[in-house]
Chains A and B, each alone.
Chain A
Amino acid sequence: MSRTISIEPVTRIEGHARISLQLGDEGEVEDARFHLTQFRGFEKFCEGRPYREMPALTARTCGICPVSHLLASNKACDHLLSVSIPPTGEHLRRIMNLAQFTQSHALSFFHLSSPDLLFGWDADPATRNIFGVMREHPDLAKDGIRLRQIGQTIIEMLGGKKIHPTWVVPGGVNEPLTLEKRDAMLKLLPEGLEIARRTYDFFKTLVPKFKHEADHFGTLPTMFLSLVTPQGNLEHYDGLLRIKDAKGRIVEDMVPPEDYERIIGEAVEDFSYMKFPYYKPQGYPKGIYRVGPLARLNNAQACGTPYADVALAEFHMLQESGPIASSFHYHYARLVEIIYAIEMMERLLKDPTILDTRVRARARSNRAEGIGVSEAPRGTLIHHYRIDDEGLITWVNLIIATGHNNLAMNQAIRQVAEAYVDGKHLQEGMLNRVEAVIRCFDPCLSCASHAFGQMPLWIELKNASGQVIDTLTRSTECHR
């Protein structure tokens, strides 16, 4: 008898999501789906607003990483102005982005994923949570908080203490950096780098323990999309689009971000409010690709900073050849990127031109269509606007990092479910792995997501007529 397992909520997320597993007669997993069940509609309600409001409006898409939307939106507005922003303005924007990477990746690794990584997926949920981490690994938990604090402090030093900084503006930034602030930021970075390297070294010792998970946590033959520098190196703010296939062959390279529609199509499915972007030349759903830290490192020839380059070389050794296929290694890639972000911030801040006072180009709108692309912590972020003669928005398209990974997340869930879920006898650890594969992608659903520790999971097995034949609830204990 076929049955459906529904995991809802997937995590304690504001963007409501659900996982459904379709089981066959023998309890084997036949299909798995990741459903985003909340609709927001930013693209629609931005219509009619002046384009200069877009950075502030779209920054509200996410309460955790508004910087990503702020940057992509301002880049789209730069395009509308048809200006090339002053180099110092660009570098200051880069620093803000890298500070955000530091704090965002730190949250994902230290506070959301570390309970699984430190205690194992089958550990008692009563201890497999952030408080367990604090109890057993207090220094690691403090390191995570300190890294977030360093990232947040730099963002505030640049953007001011306003919740949604208006410091980044179309054409650049609205205030140059002072010597005092520059020195204060530089003072924070050595400690940040020490924490990042220490954590990276520690994580490397854990990786061999998780071979089975690494082999089954979304180990998929997908393509990888990201920005790269014109030299093909790691890039987070600007650059050109590159797509590599599962074998490591470059199938698209040096694609100007403005041409994204040539290579990226968007599909919809009736079971989710999240779009399904795909690589257009291969069609849907064959054109599956991944974005984010894993994709960026797979696509980059080098990071361009000393410690991150060593870590990148070690990252590539996780697999005998080709791009790293396991989504489990998003965690590894995140730690490499934290190292890179701190090193790169230091380099940019030590360049004397960072104190240049020419930081903004001023212009009116000079074209009717603007596209801004940057890398958010979770992957490539695309803002695309059209305006009328009055500068009012007539059309918006946003492709959010998590959306790019939608096809891959669905396949990853299925793979994990097939490997671990026994439909005849549900156990909490099975469900935790299904969720954990989603955590690898660090998805940001509507505002943000993820969960750690004890999550109010409720699972039902229904028979074909909809009758509940088994349930499993995870709060403080499992009920069967």
Chain B
Amino acid sequence: MKILIIGYGSPIRGDDALGPLVADRLEQDGVPADVAVIARHILTAELVADLAVVDQAIFLDAAVDLEPGAVRCQPLIPTTSPASSMAHFLDPRELLGWCAALYGHAPDSVLITGGGASFDYADYRLSPGGEMTLTAMLAQARRLIHAHVALSRSGAIL
């Protein structure tokens, strides 16, 4: 079972860097062989090809509507209705919609978002509240990875 983790957000907008920083940390700490990790500023069209070859995708992003330290995990449903405000980058549901439309399937996907406290200028540096969120997001992502890996090893039909 292949898993793709995509952390996204602006690295210079304070806690908006949560997505890429969690992705970087996961990669630094090591992930199972069938798990790939990508950090991006924004979600762009070529990621569709990466999604097309995995069974599970985990998106990581910062949230403005959660308290620092709080984490939300929600399933994503592919959409075929352009939802994002720009055409140069895409909403994760749009990426999945592109994937389904072009390649006939989209991976089961979840979005893990974590509350940010400050979104002012800061180069790959989180606020104290953001640091709390990073820890919580890491734990959530690792739980998901381990669950999927265990399920895969058990031979269960996914």
Contacts and interface: CB of A to CB of B under 8 A. Distances in A.
Nearest to A104: B88
Interface string B4-28: 0000001110000000100000000
B68 interface: no
Given A11-B87, A64-B44, A451-B86, 10 more contacts: A66-B41, A131-B80, A131-B101, A134-B98, A145-B48, A152-B46, A161-B38, A449-B88, A454-B81, A454-B82
Contacts of B123: 56
A146 interface: yes
A141 B45 CA distance: 10
Interface residues of A, number: 40
Interface residues of B, number: 29
A130 B79 CA distance: 12
A129 interface: yes
B102 A13 contact: no
A315 B86 CA distance: 31
A129 B46 CA distance: 18
A268 interface: no
A125 B123 CA distance: 41
Given A63-B41, A142-B102, A149 B88 contact: no
Given A149-B46, A163-B40, A14 B86 contact: yes
Give the residue among B80, B86, B97 with the most A Cβ atoms within 10 A: B86
Interface in A126-153: 129-131, 134-135, 138, 141-142, 144-146, 148-149, 151-152
A103 interface: yes
Contacts of A52: none
Nearest to A476: B81
Interface of A: 11-14, 56, 60, 63-64, 66, 103, 107, 111-112, 129-131, 134-135, 138, 141-142, 144-146, 148-149, 151-152, 161-164, 447-454
Nearest to A163: B41
B84 interface: yes
Contacts of A12: 82, 84-87
